[in-house]
Amino acid sequence: MGLEEFDMTTKRKRNNTQDISGRLSALRGDFVSVQTDMQGLAKDATNGAANSAMKAAEGVATRAFDLAEEAVERAETAAAQGAAELRDGAYRVRDLMLERPMQSMLLTLGIGAIVGAFLRRP
């Protein structure tokens, strides 16, 4: 191998080394870009999932609130109906006592005697 061939080979090696270094630098840059893109995608996916979960939770909370309001309305209606029935029953008992005072007094005495007998038991 002559001096000229040696110089040519050395220049090619240097060029190849520079070319490989350039390619490696470009590849590193590409990896950094891919890594940045992946981080952005992961962040977007996380935010999307969090937003979806938040919307679902809001929907559940709204439905629960609506059901609670409906339950309160039903309870109020049932309480009002129960109070009306108790009031009607009390009026019927009062009317019966006014119609038949002697029977009402004897019935009351009989009930009192039975309750008294149970309370005296040891």
What's the domain range around 95?
3-120
| Count of domains for the chain | 1
CA distances from 64 to 72, 75, 76, 98 (A): 12, 16, 18, 51
Q: What is the pLDDT of residues 65-103, one digit of tens each?
A: 888 999 999 999 999 999 999 999 999 999 999 999 999
104, 97 contact by CB (below 8 A): yes
Confidence grade of residue 8 (pLDDT, cut at 50, 70, 90): low
* pLDDT for residue 50 is more than 80: no
| Phi, psi dihedral angles at 83 (to 5 degrees) | -65, -40
* pLDDT for residue 47 is more than 90: no
Which residue is associated with the tokens 């609130």?
Answer: 65
Residue 57 and residue 47: Cα distance in Å, rounded?
Answer: 15
Q: What is the per-residue pLDDT for 39? A: 78
